[in-house]
Amino acid sequence: MTGYGAAFDWARRQVDEGRLPTAVVGVATAGGVVALDAFGATNGRPARVEDAYWLFSITKVLTGLTAARAIERGLLTAETPLTVALPDFGRGRDDVVRLRHLVSHTSGIPEPTLDPAEGLRAALLAPGRDFAAGSASRYSTVAFDGIAELVRHTTGRTWDADVAAWAAALGATGFTLDPAADPHTVVDAERLGLDMGGFGSHRNPGAGMIGTAEDLLALGSALLRIGQGETGGVVQPATLAMMRRPLTGDIPRLEPYPAERGQDWGFTFNLRTRAPGLIDRDVYGHAGWAGTEFWVHPSAEVAWVLLTNQGERPGVDPDELDNAVVSGI
């Protein structure tokens, strides 16, 4: 772990001072994992580097890659309307919601809770809109059910089946929607009103995946290699470049990601190109509701992961960890 001592000290400190119950931190280069450790315990269960966690919105990156792979095969474009797969969507709307809107949080679809009683599909098809497609950006998880349906409709394969196929080729065999994988309990989920049993049953393409740090680090390594020109991987270099192009420009950014958060949205990637707290803003990836983090720094040639399990995390600033990883190279 030479060179990453500050990053691991950061994780240990969050656990020792009671801000996080557990922390699994890993760092990878294009050649593979270079540092990985685990700290803390969940209700007496010690964290191990191989443990599964709920990834929450890191799932969006996995779903985005399945859609990008369909684009590569000539089955979709960023302009494909959602109504191609769901003709009943948007009745009463006078705009057109396209794949590029779904992947960039600009669709204007009203957002339900993480565990909508009516189910994801009913929430996606509910009447009304938040704003006209493309006119603003508001974070949306339910939009990813639309992406998943476009993938299924055009490829004949579900999004999670495609993830399983390309992830296996990377050696990332732990991605699953099955809670039998025994992910660490989200310690404050019940207090915050999230029924994890109901949440898991939705098999949510925007938030429902479970995985390990090694799974995400294998993906991070693969993305670094693709960014360096490797072909024949999860996606092609030109496709990854497309996914990293900003799609939100200077349109209004609405809560919970206002303009001062300093990011753009690419093709499901969070592009923290204007993040005020980072040393290196040449970064893309995603975070998740319970504190999970997955980030790739192409210029610094490093990817890093934090897996943890607490919805509210006062005093925890992942930008500190990002800076420690980047400066430790």
Say if residue 249's pLDDT is above 80.
Answer: yes
* Edge-to-edge order in the sheet of strand 293-297: 45-46, 32-42, 22-29, 302-307, 293-297, 284-287, 270-271, 264-265
Q: Is the peptide bond before 252 cis (omega within 30 degrees of 0)?
A: no
Beta carbons of 257 and 245 less than 8 angstroms apart: no
Closest listed residue to residue 31, CA positions, set 216, 237, 307, 220: 220
Give tens-digit pLDDT for 67-100. Answer: 999 999 999 999 999 999 999 999 889 999 999 9
pLDDT at position 329 is 62
Q: What value does the mean pLDDT take over residues 102-111? A: 97
Q: What is the CATH number of the domain that holds 118?
A: 3.40.710.10
pLDDT at position 262 is 87
- The span from the CA of 51 to the CA of 185, in Å, is 11
Q: Which domain holds residue 271?
A: 5-327
Q: 220-229 burial by CB neighbour count: b if 16+ within 10 A, else e?
A: bbbbbbbbee
- Strand duo 264-265 + 45-46: pairing: unpaired
Burial of 299 from C-beta contacts in 10 A (0-12 / 13-18 / 19+): exposed
First to last CA, the chain: 11
Mean pLDDT in the chain? Answer: 96
Give tens-digit pLDDT for 10-28. Answer: 999 999 999 999 999 999 9
What's the structural domain count of the chain?
1
Beta carbons of 190 and 122 less than 8 angstroms apart: no
Neighbours of 52 (CB within 10 A): 21
pLDDT confidence band for 3 (50 / 70 / 90): confident
| Whole-structure pTM value | 0.97
